[in-house]
């Protein structure tokens, strides 16, 4: 892998940019691998990367039915924060956020991490109490957050209407080192680094079945034939139910659509991320000037990557009330992704009933921020066969035991 | 926009009139059941990509719960039926099979 640098740009500028090489290879699959990851989204690629980097396992294939990063990783609104309530959540999301701080240097790929600050508005007294509690919990967890006044909210984000008629802003939970990143670049950066370690990223290859013998996984049936493996990681977000069925078990997960949209580009007017969970909408401004907007999920099982229009209306209604300045903006694009929602709104990083088959899923509406930390924890689980401290509590048996990691009360919108 | 006909009042209700209730025909378990049975009933979900049977409530209409047969891969609706049944009625099965010849009734394995 040739490193990207200012010298490389200068060198290529001098020779008509003919010397850039492909960022990753597109090999044909080998007969078998030490480990196969299904799903080349951010979580799958990060898992492969840390398998190599932290555990020295590089005979790895990442198998993707479409193109890498074409799932939710390329469809999300890129909010990165770690101000969760429960200790186990704060641990993994803060690990992830802190890895984002140096990810561009680590991968030699600009992921445009922008710690511009994330503000979650409190617009009911219930939310004020909830976020004050979260701020106290975060203080104990070592996550830097703060409950701020409406005046401070207005200073940080002048385009916000803090005396709205329905839900005036009563304060906010502020995480100054939260922010955004470039979603595609995260997938591409990890893919490039995996390819450089000799791993195979096999795109346009759908996994159709999981083969096992005596309760141990032996490989996967794919559209490019059978591929053997010693260890298998299922990291397919919205399609987790399908892959689990192939591996012979069920998950506490429903697949539903979540949509996002962006406006026409305008001059810089907002340099923080604002989430308004009571009215159900959130917004940030991209480097191109577009307002990046999201809201709530649809309420029924759906694999079409299309959502219901009334949710867009609902989201925009909420945001026009919160940011009157956007009422005349034209929206440019709108799209959907299929998110994997668990009962307690927390992810699953777990062994499964099938031997040497592991699963990482359930990130639902909020897993972009978790990509580095989740990959780190999943790689540890796959390499050692047992979860490390980051993953332990996110096992899939917590539902049977009633040991939920309940984040649904902490945030109505969990992005 | 999803439109489902309420089998009780006959109204063709669009999504904003309805509340979703997710998987139908789940077998309920009561006191004395094993943790595995409770888990299967309360959490383990089929979540299929394709034919699915669901509970819906006509919230802003007659207020009653009914069931629907739908395809989650195409959003096609096969039909709706009253909730007081333990499995989909024959005419719904026939409608699904007319559109999905390869599909076999499989709700039984949710029990
Ligand atoms: C509209 C929207 C907004 C969001 N906003 C945010 C946000 O602001 N902040 C945040 O933190 N998170 C957000 N999220 C959530 C975040 O996008 C996801 O949690 C995260 O991207 C999941 O990454 P992943 O790698 O697990 O899944 P994906 O990126 O979906 O990757 C899974 C891959 O598996 C592949 N696959 C599936 N089935 C098979 C098969 N049978 N064989 C081979 N490959 C298969 C898919 O093609 C896909 O590429 C948002 C999501 C959406 C949809
Ligand atoms: Zn009705």
Please name every residue paired with A259 in a beta bridge, in sequence order, or none if there are none: A336
- Kindly report, residue by residue over A266-306, the tens digit of the pLDDT: 999 999 999 999 888 999 999 999 999 998 899 999 999 99
Taking CA atoms, what residue in B is nearest to A244?
B46
How many CA atoms lie less than 13 Å away from A323 in the CB half-sphere?
A: 25
Residue A60, pLDDT > 60, answer: yes
Q: Other CB atoms closer than 10 Å to residue A229's CB: what's the count?
A: 25
Q: Which helix (H) or strand (E) holds B35?
A: helix B35-42
Kindly state the average pLDDT of the residues A20-30: 96
Residue A140, pLDDT > 90, answer: yes
One DSSP character per residue, A166-182 reads SS---EEEEETT-EE--
Distance CA B103, CA B105 (A): 7
Residue B104 has a pLDDT of 85
Residue A404 has a pLDDT of 92
Q: Sign of dihedral through CA atoms A225, A227, A232, A237?
A: negative
Ligand 1 atom 37 nearest Cα: A236
Kindly state the average pLDDT of the residues A103-126: 97
- Is residue A215 within 8 A of residue A18, CB to CB? The reply is no
Among all bound ligands, the one having the nearest atom to the CA of A221 is 1
Residue A360, pLDDT > 60, answer: yes
Phi-psi region of A99 (alpha: psi -120 to 50; beta: other; left: phi over 0): alpha
Residue A415 has a pLDDT of 59
One DSSP character per residue, A86-137 reads SHHHHHHHHHHHHHHHTHHHHHTS----B---EEEEE-SHHHHHHHHHHHHH
The three-point CA angle B40-B43-B47 to 5° equals 95
How many CA atoms lie less than 13 Å away from A50 in the CB half-sphere?
A: 22
The three-point CA angle B25-A395-A129 to 5° equals 85
The three-point CA angle A403-A372-A65 to 5° equals 95
Residues of A (335-364) whose Cβ lies below 8 Å from B: 343
Kindly state the average pLDDT of the residues A82-86: 95
Q: Which residues of B touch A399 (CB under 8 A)?
A: 39, 42-43
- Is residue A182 within 8 A of residue A111, CB to CB? The reply is yes
Phi-psi region of A288 (alpha: psi -120 to 50; beta: other; left: phi over 0): alpha
Nearest partner of A413 among A313, A345, A339, judged by Cα: A345
- Is residue A396 within 8 A of residue A359, CB to CB? The reply is yes
Q: Which residue has the higher pLDDT, B12 or A295?
A: B12
Residue B110 has a pLDDT of 46
Q: Please answer yes or no on whether B72 and A301 come within 8 Å at the CB atom.
A: yes
A255 and chain B: CB distance < 8 Å anywhere? Answer: yes
Please name every residue paired with B81 in a beta bridge, in sequence order, or none if there are none: B67
- For ligand 1, mutation pick of A188, A303, A367, A375 (most atoms within 8 Å of CB): A367
Ligand 1 pocket (Cβ < 6 Å) reads A 38-44, 63-66, 70-73, 75-79, 206-207, 235-237, 239, 258-260, 294, 337, 339, 363, 365-369, 415
One DSSP character per residue, B36-62 reads HHHHHHHT-B---SSEEEEEEE-TTTT
- Kindly report, residue by residue over B48-67, the tens digit of the pLDDT: 999 999 999 999 999 999 99
Q: For a pLDDT cut of 90, what percent of chain A falls above it?
A: 94
Mean pLDDT over each residue of chain A, to the nearest integer: 96
Domains for chain A: give ranges and CATH numbers. 28-82+84-108+183-251+345-411 (3.50.50.60), 118-179+255-342 (3.30.9.10)
Question: Can you read off the two tokens belonging to residue A276?
Answer: 């308004």
Q: For a pLDDT cut of 70, what percent of chain A falls above it?
A: 98
Residue B111 has a pLDDT of 43
pTM for the whole thing?
0.96
How many CA atoms lie less than 13 Å away from A354 in the CB half-sphere?
A: 24
- Kindly report, residue by residue over B75-90, the tens digit of the pLDDT: 999 999 999 998 999 9
Residue A414, pLDDT > 80, answer: no
SS3 state of residue A74: helix
User: What's the Cα-to-Cα distance from A73 to each of A40, A239, A396, A413, B105, rounded to whole Å?
Assistant: 9, 14, 23, 18, 35
- Kindly report, residue by residue over A164-188, the tens digit of the pLDDT: 889 999 999 999 999 999 999 999 9
Q: Please answer yes or no on whether B19 and A299 come within 8 Å at the CB atom.
A: yes
User: What's the Cα-to-Cα distance from A124 to each of A149, A169, A276, B49, rounded to whole Å?
Assistant: 14, 8, 11, 38
Kindly state the average pLDDT of the residues A357-364: 98
> Which of A299, A302, A399 comes nearest B39 by C-beta?
A399
Interface test with B, best of A236, A243, A299, A301 (most B CBs within 10 A): A301
Kindly state the average pLDDT of the residues A58-74: 98
Q: How confident is the model at residue A58 (pLDDT cuts 50, 70, 90)?
A: very high
Nearest partner of A42 among A303, A347, A363, A291, judged by Cα: A363
The residues spanned by each domain of chain B are 3-99
CATH class for the domain made up of B3-99: alpha beta
Residue B106 has a pLDDT of 72
Kindly state the average pLDDT of the residues A35-42: 98
Nearest partner of A64 among A16, A20, A21, A29, judged by Cα: A29
Distance CA A254, CA A277 (A): 22
User: What's the Cα-to-Cα distance from A272 to each of A104, A234, A291, A346, A371, rounded to whole Å?
Assistant: 21, 34, 12, 25, 21
Q: How confident is the model at residue A410 (pLDDT cuts 50, 70, 90)?
A: low
Q: What is the per-residue burial (b if ≥16 Cβ within 10 Å, else e) of A40-58?
A: bbbbbbbbbbbbbbeeebb
Ligand 1 atom closest to the Cα of residue A43 is: 25
Question: Can you read off the two tokens belonging to residue A222?
Answer: 């794919």
């Amino acid at each position: 892998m040739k490193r990207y640098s200012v010298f490389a740009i200068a060198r290529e500028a001098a020779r008509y940019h003919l010397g850039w090489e492909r960022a990753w290879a597109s090999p044909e699959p080998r007969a078998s691998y030490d480990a196969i990851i299904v799903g080349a989204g951010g979580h799958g690629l990060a898992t492969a990367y840390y398998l190599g980097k932290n555990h020295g396992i590089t005979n790895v294939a990442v198998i993707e039915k479409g193109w890498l990063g074409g799932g939710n990783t390329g469809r999300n609104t890129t909010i990165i924060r770690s101000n969760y309530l429960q200790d186990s959540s704060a641990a993994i999301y803060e690990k992830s956020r802190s890895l984002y701080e140096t990810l561009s240097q680590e991968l030699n790929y600009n992921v445009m991490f922008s710690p511009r600050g994330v503000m979650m508005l409190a617009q009911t007294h219930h939310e004020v109490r909830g976020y004050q509690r979260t701020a106290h919990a975060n203080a104990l967890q070592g996550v830097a957050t703060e409950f701020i006044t409406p005046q401070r909210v207005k200073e940080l984000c002048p385009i916000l209407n803090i005396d709205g008629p329905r839900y005036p802003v009563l304060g906010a939970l502020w995480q100054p080192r939260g922010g955004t990143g470039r979603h595609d670049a995260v997938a591409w950066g990890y893919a490039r680094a995996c390819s450089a370690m000799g791993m195979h990223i096999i795109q346009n290859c759908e996994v159709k079945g999981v083969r096992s013998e005596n309760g141990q996984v032996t490989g996967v049936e794919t559209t490019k034939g059978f591929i053997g493996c010693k260890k298998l990681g299922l990291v397919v977000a919205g399609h987790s139910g399908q892959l689990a069925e192939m591996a012979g078990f069920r998950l506490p997960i429903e697949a539903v659509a979540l949509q996002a949209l962006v406006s026409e580009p305008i001059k810089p007017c907002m340099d923080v991320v604002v989430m308004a969970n009571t009215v159900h909408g959130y917004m940030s401004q991209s480097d191109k000037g577009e307002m990046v907007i999201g809201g709530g999920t649809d309420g029924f099982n759906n694999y079409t990557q299309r959502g219901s229009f009334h949710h867009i209306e609902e989201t925009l209604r909420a945001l026009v009330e919160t940011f009157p300045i956007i009422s005349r903006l034209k929206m440019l694009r709108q799209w959907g992704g299929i998110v994997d929602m668990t009962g307690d709104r927390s992810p699953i990083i777990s062994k499964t009933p099938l031997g040497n088959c592991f699963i990482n899923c359930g990130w639902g509406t909020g897993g972009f921020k978790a990509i580095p930390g989740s990959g780190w924890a999943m790689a540890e689980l796959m390499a050692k066969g047992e979860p490390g401290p980051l993953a332990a509590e996110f096992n899939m048996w917590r539902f049977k035991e009633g040991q939920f990691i309940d984040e649904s009360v902490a945030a109505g919108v969990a992005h | 926009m999803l439109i489902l006909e309420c089998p009780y009042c006959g109204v063709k209700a669009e999504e904003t009139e309805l509340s979703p209730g997710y998987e139908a025909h789940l077998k309920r378990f009561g006191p004395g059941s094993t943790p595995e049975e409770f888990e299967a009933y309360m959490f383990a979900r089929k979540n299929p990509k394709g034919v699915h049977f669901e509970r819906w409530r006509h919230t802003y209409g007659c207020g009653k719960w009914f069931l629907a047969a739908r395809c989650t891969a195409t959003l096609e609706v096969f039909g709706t039926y009253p909730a007081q049944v333990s499995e989909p009625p024959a005419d719904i099965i026939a409608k699904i099979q007319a559109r999905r010849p390869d599909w076999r009734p499989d709700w039984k394995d949710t029990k």
